[in-house]
Amino acid sequence: MSTGNGTRRLDWILSPEPSNRDLPGPGTGLTVGVLALQGDFREHRVVLEGLGALTREVRRADQLEGLDGLVIPGGESTTISKLMDACGLADPITAFSRAGGLVYGTCAGLISVARDTVEGSPPTLGLMDIVARRNAFGRQVRSFEADLVVEGLGPEPLRAVFIRAPWVESAGPGVKVLATCKGHIVAAREGGVLVTAFHPELTDDARIHELFIAMIRRREGAAPEPAGAAQLRAAGEPGRAVAVPANR
């Protein structure tokens, strides 16, 4: 269920109504971790599971083993950085990425994976050749939504939710810009790292998560989605997440 502007309501996410979660989706056969130290990790799990992927909440280094990808969610970047250090996760996440694991950072996650920040803090993982500006669009009261055309997602605009959002202040030559907002980079990728300054997990449009899954498939040479999956999903609304409860 949508609020009318693309933002998902909690009762939609938690809806007990039957869904097509048993139909094969683009994420079938993949296991994607979501860093679950702080922030909106649960919402990412709902979207990924709606696309057929198995998910795992990551709070310890050993929980990175066997993952096909890792999402670092939005939240508070300084808190996430401190908790990663406290849990001994910063170096293992860096090693996971360097070994070919795919990483997607949203909002605070974008800051986490950056080479640096304009402000010089918090410490970052240096997984992507970008410099992030924290709270670039303003504080909580300046939160907003915008329709963005994101390269690789087709012509239909994506409704993007910006909450105390950063932007990419500068990017290295190997970084591919996917979307801008108000003249600033808000979505980009480099190698096996994807970032968005906005929160796609808060809408019913799953195309950004589908893009991340496609990146995993290409990087790992994984088999394509099961035969007939696209036809089965065609009975529903393509490109949209299926609402399913996250695993406990």
Active-site amino acid positions: 107, 199, 201
Over the chain, what HEC string results? Answer: CECCCCEECHHHHCCCCCCCCCCCCCCCCCEEEEECCCCCHHHHHHHHHHCCCEEEEECCHHHHCCCCEEEECCCCHHHHHHHHHHCCCHHHHHHHHHCCCEEEEECHHHHHHEEEECCCCCCCCCCEEEEEECCCCCCHHHCEEEEECCCCCCCCCEEEEECCCCEEEEECCCCEEEEEECCEEEEEEECCEEEECCCHHHECECHHHHHHHHHHHHHHCCCCCCCCHHHHHCCCCCCECCCCCCCC
Residues 6+ apart with CB under 8 A from 87: 37, 59, 60, 61
Beta strand pairing call for 54-58 and 31-35: parallel
